[in-house]
Structure 1
Amino acid sequence: MKTKTHRASAKRFRISGTGRIFHQHANRKHKLSKMRPQYRREAGRPVEVRGADRKRLRRILSI
């Protein structure tokens, strides 16, 4: 039986062409004026998933 992709996770994570899994930083929706500009810039970039989370996400996302 084929495994199904976890749809909520598929909307939150992106897979690069080389197979790496990326996610977005939290706290980027509103009240950005209170944050340091350096944090705002860094939080706008996607972050690679590392460690045990990557192994679990590969199974959830059916990669």
Structure 2
Amino acid sequence: MAPFSTPAPEPHDNPETYVGLSADAAERQARERGWTTVRSLPPGAIITMEYRAGRLNFEVADGTVRRSWKG
């Protein structure tokens, strides 16, 4: 059986701080703060609900982050 890997700890960061930023600025800031994956989605996008440590999701409309959440 393969050994279990331990995911890297997530940054201590509040996703709400990205709301209102441009998508480019938010992604740049998130990567600087240590997020390994940053995903931008249009409003109402159909996505899977699995939680991935180290991922930050943005709902982007008109180039601006409207909502942000971990996983």
Q: For the pair shown, which has the larger CA radius of gyration, 1 or 2?
A: 1
TM-score, normalised with respect to structure 1 = 0.24
The normalised TM-score by structure 2 is 0.22
- Which structure has more relative contact order (CA 8 Å, sep 6+)? It is 1
